[in-house]
Structure 1
Amino acid sequence: MAFFAPTRYWLWGIAMTIELLMPIIGTRILAGTSAHPSHLQERFGLFTLIVLGESIVSVASTTANGSWALLPTLAAVFGFGIAACLWWLYFNFLETAVFIRGIGSVHTFNYGHLPIVMGLALVAVGTEHTIVETASHNILSAGARWTLLGGVALYMTAITFIAVAACRRRFSWQMVMAIMLVLGLAILGQNLSPLVLEGLLLALLVAKVSLQVSMTQPVKNEERVAIKFGDSNQ
């Protein structure tokens, strides 16, 4: 049955609330059931990869529907590079994540992925607008600038939060510094051209990935502990 606005939006809100509360409600129902962290990583990794693919689709579709002039083409290449860096940051995080015992860490991991996929969606839209505006604007519009850079900042913040709160990783000041630089670029980059702004963002992400590659230590499989749903205090 079809409903008209605003009833439709209220029903959507109720449905989303029920959907988001189900993991918490299911904690009591599934008390005592074991869960393996590798399964969570696999499922969320696949879902995140699908959302990340939207960034690639936005680059391909915008380029295909536009001209192959030099500046838009370079913007598309930069956009692909940004998506590749975001892909590496996430899956490097998955490879080195260590779960603590307790359902609390599972909930943090689950709900922490909401801002991750929201950030990726913003990056996809921001990349698309950046490619379009490169051909016709000398300065990237405020909306496109904050969509692109804000999406990257939200994405990196969510990964940092999950790593510290759910996986008991050490707090990374390097990631915090990278987030601050991205936000600073969004605030101070109002007079920069789309291509320059996108290029600076790509350079920042490449530097962050390169630094993290040199410092990453793989986690042994035996350190990935099983989780009991009945342990709700952690």
Structure 2
Amino acid sequence: MTEQQLRRPRMRARSPHEAHRSATPLELLFDLCFVVAVAQAGARLVHSVAEGSFAAGVGGYVFVFFAIWLAWVNFTWFASAYDTDDVPYRIATFVQMCGVLVLAAGIPRAFDEDDFSIAVAGYVIMRLALVGQWLRAAHGETGAGRTTALRYAGGLVVVQTAWVLLLQLPDSAWSAGFVILAAADLSVPVIAERARRTGWHPHHIAERHGLFTIIVLGETIAAATVAVQSALNESSAADDLVPIVVGGLLVVFSAFWFYFAGPIHEHLHGNREAFRWGYGHYFVLGSAAAIGAGLEVAVEHATHHAHVSVYAAAAAVTIPASIYLFSVWLLHARHFKRTLAQQLVLPGAAVLVAASTAAGRWAVLLAGVVCAVAVAVGLTLERRVRASRPPG
């Protein structure tokens, strides 16, 4: 750490036009903490769906993944604007990491017992550190910038206090309370940045979301590894497991291809676009992580450990894969498509992947083939469009 970093007394906003801005080692370490939380959420979703508790499993996953995603978003967008990488900043980030691990530890209890006390305690730890960061930012700002930072700090305190109070209400109030407070949480940046936009960096933000997408897709690769291990250990089920492995890998590779098809940072011009894009990633990231959980359900069904039908096991993969394809098209791909045929590739693939559920034990393989064909069709259409342009 440089002498300047050790001595820096104030937190100054970084320029949104800074050249060569990229993720820092500290941000990558922060992301690794979320690997634990995402894995916990996926494991509980697998358990619930494999036991036939679809509504409880999906509902719990929606709640818990929202908490994971929002915690990551809160830190990432702040860091894009105010990452000074000095001693106080690093210590505050370490505290937030501790909060993430507490949140992860509380996920099983939230799923199994509808007890969110530990998860909320983890959020209190994260939010206290983040509020301190915003107050420090306010101290280093003046005028509208100071107002924005104070609005962030105040909004986070108010909403987090409401989450703690929600724990004191009867369990019957949790679902409605969650919806209301989730909306309140999402409104904090919208209200705060009316005073002045923070200096988030478009390229940095795009890279950070891309890295987190890779993390959740990595969880899906881990699920495919479980399938391979099961095939080796239970040779009697190999005929059912091989299509799951092949199809699952095709889905993951295609998911990566679709997401990184173009430089999305060029379309993040202001807060209106950025909020829609950033909040939309809840569906991208949540569905990507759910694909991995679905593959594990499909494996458990193939090895006769899941108490669900073959179609339910198939839907555990095909439905989140379909949601992922449509979400990526809506947030990313449509910005780079020039013809109607190009625009229809991903939505059409999403419909076909969902319909492949009817194929039963072959559904995952069929979904993977659909995704791979969609990649090939997209590349062919893009090549034709480029060839049709006049030279120069």
Task: Using structure 1 for the length normalisation, give the TM-score.
Answer: 0.73
User: Counterparts of 1:97 and 1:156 in 2: how far apart (Å)?
Assistant: 19
Higher helix share: 2
* 2:286 is the counterpart of 1:115: no
1:166-216 CA-to-partner distances (Å, cap 9, x unmatched) read: x58556112222122223223xx1xx342x222211111111112223427
Q: 2:372 aligns with which of 181, 206, 230?
A: 206
Match of 2:201 in 1: 36
Q: 2:229 aligns with which of 56, 64, 78?
A: 64
User: Counterparts of 1:65 and 1:134 in 2: how far apart (Å)?
Assistant: 9
1:100-142 CA-to-partner distances (Å, cap 9, x unmatched) read: 53321101110110111121132112211222223449x9633
Amino acid at match of 2:246: V
CA drift at 1:85: 1.3
User: Counterparts of 1:168 and 1:75 in 2: how far apart (Å)?
Assistant: 31
Amino acid at match of 2:186: L
User: Counterparts of 2:205 and 2:309 in 1: how far apart (Å)?
Assistant: 38
Aligned partners of 1:157 and 1:179 also within 8 Å: yes
Percent of aligned positions that are identical: 20
Q: 2:269 aligns with which of 101, 112, 121?
A: 101
5+ unaligned residues in a row in structure 2: which ranges? Answer: 1-115, 118-166, 387-392
CA drift at 1:65: 5.3
User: Counterparts of 1:144 and 1:53 in 2: how far apart (Å)?
Assistant: 21
* 2:151 is the counterpart of 1:19: no
* 2:260 is the counterpart of 1:88: no
* 2:343 is the counterpart of 1:177: no
User: Counterparts of 2:331 and 2:360 in 1: how far apart (Å)?
Assistant: 34
Aligned partners of 1:85 and 1:209 also within 8 Å: yes
CA drift at 1:144: 2.2
CA drift at 1:76: 2.1
Aligned partners of 1:163 and 1:169 also within 8 Å: no
Corresponding residue SS for 1:98: helix
User: Residues 110 and 32 (structure 1 numbering): CA distance in 2 closer, same or farther, change over 3 Å?
Assistant: closer
Match of 2:212 in 1: 47
User: Counterparts of 2:266 and 2:348 in 1: how far apart (Å)?
Assistant: 23
Relative contact order (alpha carbons < 8 A, sep ≥ 6): 1 or 2 greater?
A: 1
CA drift at 1:52: 1.3
Aligned partners of 2:283 and 2:324 also within 8 Å: yes
Match of 1:232 in 2: none
User: Counterparts of 1:182 and 1:147 in 2: how far apart (Å)?
Assistant: 12
CA drift at 1:163: 3.2
User: Counterparts of 2:336 and 2:270 in 1: how far apart (Å)?
Assistant: 12
User: Counterparts of 1:80 and 1:102 in 2: how far apart (Å)?
Assistant: 36
User: Counterparts of 1:88 and 1:43 in 2: how far apart (Å)?
Assistant: 17
User: Counterparts of 1:86 and 1:168 in 2: how far apart (Å)?
Assistant: 16
Match of 2:331 in 1: 162
CA drift at 1:32: 4.6
Corresponding residue SS for 2:267: coil
User: Residues 92 and 154 (structure 1 numbering): CA distance in 2 closer, same or farther, change over 3 Å?
Assistant: same
Aligned partners of 1:109 and 1:162 also within 8 Å: yes
Q: Tell me how many residue pairs correspond in the alignment.
A: 209
User: Residues 5 and 46 (structure 1 numbering): CA distance in 2 closer, same or farther, change over 3 Å?
Assistant: same
Match of 1:230 in 2: none
Matches within 5 A, 1:72-83: 72-83=241-252
5+ unaligned residues in a row in structure 1: which ranges? Answer: 219-234
CA drift at 1:145: 2.4
Larger Rg, first or second structure (1 or 2): 2
Task: Using structure 2 for the length normalisation, give the TM-score.
Answer: 0.46
Corresponding residue SS for 1:28: coil
Amino acid at match of 2:224: V
Aligned CA-pair RMSD: 3.3
Aligned partners of 1:156 and 1:175 also within 8 Å: yes
CA drift at 1:8: 6.5
1:18-76 CA-to-partner distances (Å, cap 9, x unmatched) read: 432233123224x1544432112111111111111111122223443563523224422
Aligned partners of 1:100 and 1:168 also within 8 Å: no
